[in-house]
Chains A and B, each alone.
Chain A
């Protein structure tokens, strides 16, 4: 391509290195577009789409020239820009005029403005007094966890043990409803959140402690399902020191692998969504 060969003549190695540094500063296509708009002193509400598209594509050429991998998002945005450009070239039909068709740029402008807002908010965040950077608190090496959890090697709990424990809870908290009152139920998601913040505070909590006597049967069941769901998500560990002993729930969020797994699972789901 003639353009490419011309560019390789233009750029010396030293310059290439300089570009490399700059390129890394763009967080994504929206960031790059905002930069182009700012640099050309353009009105964000009335973007000259042809000019912006040309500059955007030139930048992509530059990336290619420097043999940098172009992230897929940049390509998607390039395609979006070209689509908007072509839609603006097409004459507006009578029907569309009557329906007051939206400016093809509107969606992009909304995204740019929204992105700009959050970027400003992020600057605002980093200018706050950060703990460990601007302000400091005393640090504690607390052996709390060691005290709370029995010293013996805990054994993993079978599902059957859990169900048995839950049956004991149900027996203990004999809830009999003689009349039907519509109560505001709590969702499993809400209960999960509650259990998690409890575990966050206390690190370890006994199975029984999650079921207090005043609870409705609904809440007992929701709590039990939440525990199972948390276990499935690998956000908690369920252990027991001796058989028939107390069952302990421990937050496993200190375990990095667990989060990695959760996000990986999410990754797979996302990919499935994107492809579909």
Chain B
């Protein structure tokens, strides 16, 4: 009986919170309840929302729980909100990928891996709060160290960094040919 009401309480807390709500935070707020019970309530809620024919799901993102729309409804929601959503340039995505997998990482390391200057991209990503400065590296020049932020996890629907597929897994997935829609360079015609 009390378990049932706890589930409803947890549901309402997640509903009104503007960011993913973590188990730690819930346990602090619901101090009269056992942590294990709260965890169970969360698991049941996730299960119920995903099983039912509901428009929303309880997603586990950025170390917490948040109600989100189903991805298959994206078209309808975009009609309502008129938002096109975020669109990333290839350079922004590359930089994010490198930092997500290699953090903590300095700008010089990012630039070595990408082979191009990345100061502008880093700045933009910092402004969008997808990256954060973790500190300074103890080497000559004391370069800043970058890592990904909580917003990064929220945006890319990641539970935590560990839930990123490993680089090895990505390779085995045989990624779509990135050149498929890129026309061939007219280099042959330059032949003297």
Contacts and interface: CB of A to CB of B under 8 A. Distances in A.
Interface of A: 3, 6-7, 10, 15, 19, 22, 25, 27-31, 35, 38-39, 55, 58-59, 61-62, 71-73, 77, 111, 114-115, 117-126, 128-140, 142, 188-190, 192-193, 196-197, 200, 233, 235, 253, 256, 259-260, 262-263, 266-267, 269-270, 272-273
A6 B192 CA distance: 8
Q: Is the interface of A mostly helix, strand, loop or mixed?
A: helix
A131 B155 contact: yes
Interface in B65-95: 66-71, 74, 77, 81, 83-88, 90-91, 93-94
A157 B156 CA distance: 39
Given A120-B170, A256-B127, A272 B185 contact: no
Given A121-B97, A253-B129, A193 B135 contact: yes
Given A6-B192, A132-B83, A125 B143 contact: no
Contact of A73 (B71, B91, B116, B140): B116
10 contacts: A22-B183, A55-B187, A129-B71, A130-B86, A131-B154, A134-B157, A137-B67, A138-B67, A192-B134, A263-B126
Contact of B185 (A31, A35, A266): A35
Nearest to B119: A267
Contacts of B107: 266, 270
Contact of B114 (A115, A233, A269): A115
B122 interface: yes
Contacts of A118: 94, 97-98, 101, 113-114, 167
Given A121-B101, A125-B97, A130 B156 contact: yes
Interface residues of B, number: 76
Contacts of A35: 179, 182, 185
A48 B179 CA distance: 21
B99 to A, nearest CB: 10
B134 A189 contact: yes
A122 B192 contact: no
A10 B142 CA distance: 51
Q: Is the interface of B mostly helix, strand, loop or mixed?
A: mixed
Contacts of B52: none
B132 interface: yes
A135 B77 CA distance: 9
Contact of A270 (B81, B93, B119, B133): B119
B114 A27 contact: yes
Contact of B18 (A27, A142, A259, A272): A142
Given A22-B185, A137-B66, A266 B91 contact: no
Interface in B127-166: 127, 129, 132-136, 140-145, 149-150, 154-158, 165
